[in-house]
Amino acid sequence: MDNLIYFLIELLRDRSVELPDKTGGNARALVAQQTVLYDELRSLFQDVPFQTENASGSASISDLADKVLRECRALLDNSPALFVQSRDKSIVSGILPILRDDDMQQLRSFIKVSIAGRSAEQAKQFGIVAAAALIVESNDSIKGPLIDSQELIGRDGLSLIIQIGIYNAHKIEQAKEPERAASVSNEIAALTASLQNYRAEFEKERADQRGQLDVLSAAGVDIDEKSQQAVAALAGFQNDLLNHENAIREEWKLDRARLNWNTRYLEARRGFQIGCVILFAFLAVTMAVAYLFGPAIVASVNHFDVALFLSGGSVGTAIAHQFSRLVIFSVPILVYLWMLKAVMRYFMRSMLLMDDARQRETMLDTYFLLTEKGRADERDRPLILWALFRQTPGHGPDGIEPPDFTEVINAGFNRAKAPLQG
């Protein structure tokens, strides 16, 4: 029932309405609409639907309520609403409340649609409430005659008097609602301001504490990073010391071999230089002899052939002379070739030994470097020793070049990649 009273208060709240209308068209339309809206108001309460768990249907309006609505409609015909036009607005007023269509539609929706839980007795009281609301909201000049013209006896009369009082109470309560709302709003505003002050102080303290925590956290992170860096630096320093120690130990163990191979390299280089000088001298002497004595030798051979031809000797004599000449010329040539071969072998041997000694010395230096950098350990020693003490050139299988230096480098790279892959 309270909801119905709320809708009726909204519908019947004004007996004078101000419209922003310069021409008066809206005001005329609103005045003409009042008769239609009052007829619709009366028809709404003729049959009020209800619905409960046990029954549903509609309740008709009581005779007393219908009489009040009919008299109000008759008063509207006798004293219709009027409007006054000013320069930029129109004012519509009357002895009865000025109804609006949107408020009427909301009331219709409430009465015809929101029926769940509404009993038949409540539906019948809707008309009494509407009649009481019209009496309260009408002009004082017709309020007394409206009440006096009714027979306020019986149950319906008592209900009308009670509903007039209830409607007045709701209206007064609603009139005080803005003041109460303003007071509550002021209290809420004061409380909100106080809460905002407390919140600002709390946020400030929290920001200060958070800043201090951030500083402490940053300091802790910095300390952790520095401690980790110190531990890593110490571990790296220890590892470098250990590698340096291993390199010194290996260098000390193999230093004598390195010196021997260095001496061997110097000797082989000296032999290579001597071989170069001998080979150059041999070739120079050969070219000088060929240049100086070549024409004389060729002339003597030709002279011998001409003398043999002019003497007319026998064939056997000619063969004997040719064989003798072959022996005379071939023996020096063979001796010359043998000496050239010996010089070339000495030259090649010195060059190979020099290169071999340099390779072995380079392998040792590479092994020392890998050991110092931590790239080699005891498992690499057999490979190094096998490469160092392999057979010297000329004493192993022919045509095999030892790739031991490359194997040492590859082994070092494989050892370096092994921790990354692991």
Pick the range with the lowest mean pLDDT from 42-46, 126-130, 270-274, 391-395.
Answer: 391-395
In terms of Cα–Cα distance, which of 376, 156, 107 is closest to 246?
376
- Of residues 329 and 336, more confidence is placed in 336
Listed residue (378, 391, 387) closest to 409, CA to CA: 387
Please name the helix (run of DSSP H) or strand (run of DSSP E) that holds residue 166, with its range, or none. Answer: helix 154-311
Q: What percent of the chain has pLDDT over 90?
A: 0
Q: Position 81: which residue type? A: A
Q: Of 379, 366, 390, which is closest to residue 415 (Cα–Cα)?
A: 379
Name the burial class of residue 32, with classes exposed (0-12), middle (13-18) and buried (19+) by CB atoms within 10 angstroms of its CB: exposed
pLDDT in tens, 198-252: 788 888 888 888 888 888 888 888 888 888 888 888 887 777 777 777 667 666 6
Confidence at 400, pLDDT banded by 50, 70, 90? very low
**pLDDT for position 152:** 64
Low-confidence winner among 1-5, 58-62, 87-91, 403-407 (lowest mean pLDDT):
403-407
User: Is the predicted pLDDT of residue 310 greater than 60, yes or no?
Assistant: no
Distance CA 384, CA 365 (A): 11
pLDDT at 398: 43
Rounded CA gap, 226 and 219, in Å? 10
Instruction: Give the pLDDT of residue 411.
Output: 57
Distances (CA, A) of 50 to 119, 133, 341: 6, 21, 136
Per-residue CA distances from 100 to 37, 91, 93 (Å): 8, 14, 13
The predicted pLDDT at position 399 comes to 40
Tell me the average pLDDT across 246-266: 72
Q: How far apart are CA 258 and CA 358, in angstroms?
A: 10
Q: Can you give the pLDDT at residue 200?
A: 82
- Range scoring the smallest mean pLDDT among 104-108, 173-177, 261-265, 393-397: 393-397
Contact 150, 134 (CB under 8 A): no
Residue-averaged pLDDT of the chain? 75
Between 40 and 377, where is the model more confident? 40
DSSP one-letter string for 207-267: HHHHHHHHHHHHHHHHHHHHHHHHHHHHHHHHHHHHHHHHHHHHHHHHHHHHHHHHHHHHH
pLDDT of residue 303: 60
pLDDT at position 33: 81
Nearest-angstrom CA–CA distance, 403 and 410: 11
Three-state secondary structure call for residue 13: coil
Highest mean pLDDT among 176-185, 337-346, 383-392: 337-346
From 400, 411, 401, 384, select the one nearest 261 (Cα to Cα).
Answer: 384
Give me the residue label for tokens 């004598």: 256
Residue 402, pLDDT score: 42
What's the rounded mean pLDDT across residues 61-75? 81
Report pTM: 0.43
The pLDDT-based confidence of 337 (bands split at 50, 70, 90) is: confident
Q: How far apart are the first and last CA of the chain?
A: 84
Please tell me the least confidently modeled range out of 30-44, 206-220, 223-237, 254-268.
254-268
- Of 216-220, 387-391, 414-418, which has the strongest mean pLDDT? 216-220
Output the pLDDT for position 403.
Answer: 43
Pick the residue with more confidence: 317 or 186? 186
